[in-house]
């Protein structure tokens, strides 16, 4: 007798579950197409973490204060530069310092390089003031 009720309950649950899966709600109002949103934060996590770890190392090691300040710093930089601009500016900076003479001129002298390096320097200075990096 117990087995008969169990089978009946299981079959009712199964039929209810299947019926729920087959019913689709009807659209009552025309849905507007969703506009793609612009990314407010286009910096990959890996690059943010790398920046914070390098910043922490430059400012005396890992403490709550340096970790917070360096995390704040990359957030402030991200407000002023897109990730592509940030990455290009860091690349130009690195390559212009690594090469001297004519070899470094390719990375140091173009207007794009000068502009991006200047914007990065200004963004970092502003972020240091805002985030109290010492």
Compute the average pLDDT of residues 58-66.
89
Q: Is residue 14 included in any domain, yes or no?
A: no
Q: How many residues does the chain have?
A: 134
Question: No. of H helices and E strands in the chain?
Answer: 6, 0
Mean pLDDT of the chain: 76
pLDDT in tens, 10-59: 444 444 444 444 445 555 556 555 554 445 568 999 999 999 999 999 98
pLDDT at 20: 47
Q: Is residue 87 included in any domain, yes or no?
A: yes
> Model pTM?
0.64
Listed residue (94, 95, 56) closest to 74, CA to CA: 56
- Using the 8-state DSSP alphabet, how is residue 2 labeled? H
Number of domains in the chain: 1
Q: Is residue 109 included in any domain, yes or no?
A: yes
pLDDT in tens, 93-131: 888 877 777 777 777 777 888 899 999 999 999 999 998
Name the residue range of residue 56's domain: 45-131
Q: Is residue 71 included in any domain, yes or no?
A: yes
Q: Is residue 84 included in any domain, yes or no?
A: yes
Tell me the backbone φ, ψ of residue 99, rounded to 5 degrees: -115, 140
Check: CB of residue 36 under 8 Å from CB of residue 67.
Answer: no
Q: Is residue 31 included in any domain, yes or no?
A: no
Q: Is residue 125 included in any domain, yes or no?
A: yes
Q: Which residues contact 122 (CB under 8 A, 6 or more apart)?
A: 80
Q: Is residue 127 included in any domain, yes or no?
A: yes
Cα 112 from Cα 99, distance rounded (Å):
18
């Amino acid at each position: 007798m117990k087995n008969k009720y169990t089978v009946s309950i299981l079959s009712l649950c199964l039929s209810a579950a299947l019926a729920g899966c087959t019913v689709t709600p009807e659209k009552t109002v025309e849905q507007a197409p969703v506009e793609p949103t612009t990314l407010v934060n286009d910096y990959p996590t890996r690059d943010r973490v790398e920046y914070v770890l390098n910043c922490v190392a430059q400012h005396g090691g890992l403490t709550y204060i340096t970790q917070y300040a360096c995390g704040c710093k990359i957030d402030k930089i991200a407000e002023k530069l897109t990730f592509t601009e940030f990455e290009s500016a860091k690349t130009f900076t690195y390559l212009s310092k690594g090469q001297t003479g004519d070899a470094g001129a390719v990375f140091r002298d173009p207007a794009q390089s000068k502009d991006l390096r200047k914007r990065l320097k200004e963004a970092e200075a502003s972020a240091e003031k805002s985030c109290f990096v010492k």
